[in-house]
Amino acid sequence: RPNVAEGLRLLQRCVASEPRAPLILSLLLSFISALFVFLSCAYSQLAGPGVGSAGAELLPRVLDKIFAALVYEGTPPEDRSSRNVKNVRRHGAGLLVKLGSKYPL
């Protein structure tokens, strides 16, 4: 069984990073998607003491990161309507739908 505290720590590091490049931001969203299961595990009684509160503090930051991807405009050399910027927005929207359907916290 994976360690919930370690998974939450990895998720926290993903949320703390601020990549500028669209490809790296898209990869970061994939990491968040894969690690989100640890947030739902943190709320279960199997996680242990203190882990649930860490998950509760992390959830708003994760959602902020996803919402930031939804309104991503890219960096100055890129156009707002470029394919890379649209892909980041699409990735964020897909992640939000996935989290809403799979993990109704």
Provide the pLDDT for residue 51: 60
pLDDT tens digits, one per residue of 27-83: 999 999 999 888 877 766 555 556 666 677 888 999 999 999 999 988 777 677 788
| Residue whose token pair is 């707002």 | 80
Distance CA(25)–CA(83), nearest Å, equals: 14
Tell me how far apart the terminal alpha carbons of the chain are, to the nearest angstrom: 21
Containing domain of residue 96, as a range? Answer: 4-102
- Distance, in Å, from the CA atom of 57 to the CA atom of 69, rounded to the nearest integer, reads 20
Total of domains in the chain: 1
pTM equals: 0.82
